[in-house]
Amino acid sequence: MTELLAPAGSMEALRAALRFGADAVYLGGPLLQLRAKSAGFSFDDIAEAAKLIHAKGKRLYVTVNALAYNDEIGLLPEYGNRLLECGVDAAIVSDLGVLTTLHKACPRLELHVSTQASCTNYASARTWYELGAKRIVLAREMTVDEIRKLHKNVPDDLELEAFVHGAMCMAYSGRCLLSSAILGRSGNRGDCAQPCRWKYALVEETRPNQSFPIVEEGNSSYILSSRDLCCIGLLDELIDAGVTSLKIEGRMKTEYYVAVVVNAYRRMLDGTMTVENAQRELLTVSHRPYTTGFYHGELPQDHSNAGVYTQTHRFAGTVLGFENGFATVMQRNRFVRGDALEVVSPALTNAVLYANEITDEQGEPVEIANRVQQILRIRTDLRLAPGDLLRIKA
C-alpha cells in the first residue's frame, strides 16, 4: 500500500492532514528539526499528536535532520527515548552520526534517512540500510528511471519515499549556505531566511545608491528562486518505480494549504478525482509556478516569475460545527454577506455555501466578516462537519 505523508507545523495542520486523508504525518520536535522554532512541537504536543494519529491507525514521524554539532550528539540517546515514550513511530535523520547514535541507543525507533542526505544511488541506500535505516527519502534530483534502478538493487524491505508536492530549494537536496552567508542564519540548522526567493538588483561599486534591475523573461528578477513541485500527474509512475511513500512538503503552511493538497492527492490515489480537477484544486493554494522537478530529467531553464506566488482562492474560515441549519465558523479572511463560499471537505464535492445570512455569537447580523478568528453563524442547508473549510475566489 502506498503511503501519503503530510506535513504539520501546528496542531491545526495536523488535524487537517488526518481529516483529509493522510496515512502518516511528519513534524519537528524540540531538537535538530529543520524549520523555524514556531513549527516545532514540544514533547507534550508530540504525545498528543501521537494519540490523535494512532487513534486513526496512522503513523507519526519526527524530523531530526539538521546538521548536528559535537555537543548535540550526547543529547540524542535521551531524546530518542523520549520520542519513543511519546509514541513516535520513526525519526527522520540526515547525519551519519545521528543515525548510528540513535540506532544504538534506541533500537526500537525506526529510522528514515532524510533527503538532506542526498541519497542518489543503490550503493548508498544499501549502506544506510546496513546501518539501521528502514527507509530512504530519495534525493529530489533523481529521475523516475533512476529511482526504478535503485529500487531493483536494494533489499525488498527497504522503503523508498519521494517528494511529490511543495516548495523546491535552489540548492542540492536543500543543502544551502546562502542564508548563512548573507544573514548568518543557517538553513542547515533550521533558520533559513529564504533569500533565494527574494528579488535582486545589480549595484555598481562606485554607485552604491543606484541599483539596476536584473530582468529575465517576463520582467522577473527572482533569479535564484525555484518553482514549486507538483507531481499530481506522476503518481502512478513513481509508485511503479518503487516509491512506497509520497511526501508533501510544507511544515510552515496553514491548515488550509495542508487540507487542500492532501485532499487532492488522496482523491487521486483513491481514483475519485481526475488529474485535471486535482490540478485546479492545487491552484487554489499559495504557490510559485509548478514543475514536475527532475523526475523526467533536468529542470526546464525558464525561471520567469518563479518567485511570484499566486492562488485562485483565499481561506475564508474553518467550520467548528453545524446545528439547526446554521454552520458555526471561525473567520480567517474577509468575506461579506452574499458571498459564495466554496466548501473544502473530504465528504463533499463542489459544494457552495451562500453566506446570505450571517450573525455573530450574540445573534446580531453581520454584513462584513473582517475580524480574524471571529466566531460567526451562517445559515445553510449543507450538513457541514467540524474541520470542513471555506474558501472564496481571490
Per-residue model confidence as pLDDT tens digits over 269-321: 999 999 999 999 999 999 988 999 999 987 666 656 667 889 999 999 999 99
Q: Domain with 369 in it: what CATH number?
A: 2.40.30.10
The tens digit of pLDDT for each residue in 19-55 reads: 999 999 999 999 988 666 667 899 999 999 999 999 9
Residue 140 lies in a domain: yes
Q: Could you tell me if residue 104 is inside a domain? A: yes
User: Where a domain ends, among 258, 291, 324?
Assistant: 291
Same domain, 271 and 385: no
| Same structural domain, 237 and 270 | yes
Claim to verify: residue 287 and residue 320 sit in the same structural domain: no
Is the pLDDT reported for residue 181 higher than 70? no
Q: What is the pLDDT of residues 71-124, one digit of tens each?
A: 999 999 999 999 999 999 999 999 999 999 999 999 999 999 999 999 999 999
200 within some domain: no
- Claim to verify: residue 38 and residue 159 sit in the same structural domain: yes
Lowest mean pLDDT among 171-185, 290-304, 368-382: 171-185
- Domain carrying residue 321: 313-393
181 domain-assigned: no
Rounded to the nearest integer, the mean pLDDT of the chain is 91
Per-residue pLDDT tens digits for 196-221: 777 777 787 787 888 767 666 555 66
Q: What percent of the chain has pLDDT over 90?
A: 77
Long-range residue pairs from 215-220, CB within 8 A, at least 24 positions apart, any chain: 216/303, 216/304, 217/302, 217/304, 218/304, 218/305, 220/303, 220/304, 220/305, 220/306, 220/307, 220/308
Contacting residues for 335 by C-beta, under 8 A, at least 6 apart? 316, 317, 341, 355, 369, 392
Say what percent of the chain tops pLDDT 70. 90
Do 10 and 108 have their domain in common?
yes
H helices of 95-245, in order, are: 96-105, 122-130, 144-152, 178-183, 235-241
> In sequence order, what DSSP letters do the residues of 55-119 get, joined into one string?
HTT-EEEEEE-SPPPHHHHTTHHHHHHHHHHHT--EEEE--HHHHHHHHHH-TTSEEEE-GGG--
341 and 273: one domain?
no
Residue 284 included in any domain: yes
> Do 19 and 163 share a structural domain?
yes
Question: For residue 187, what pLDDT is reported?
Answer: 66
> Do residues 77 and 105 make contact, with C-beta atoms less than 8 angstroms apart?
yes
CATH code for the domain in which residue 40 is found: 3.20.20.70
Residue 162 lies in a domain: yes
Question: Is the whole-model pTM more than 0.85?
Answer: yes
Please report where in the chains the cell 531538537 appears, as a residue.
Answer: 31
Asked if residue 56 and residue 153 are part of one domain, the reply reads yes
Number of domains composing the chain: 2
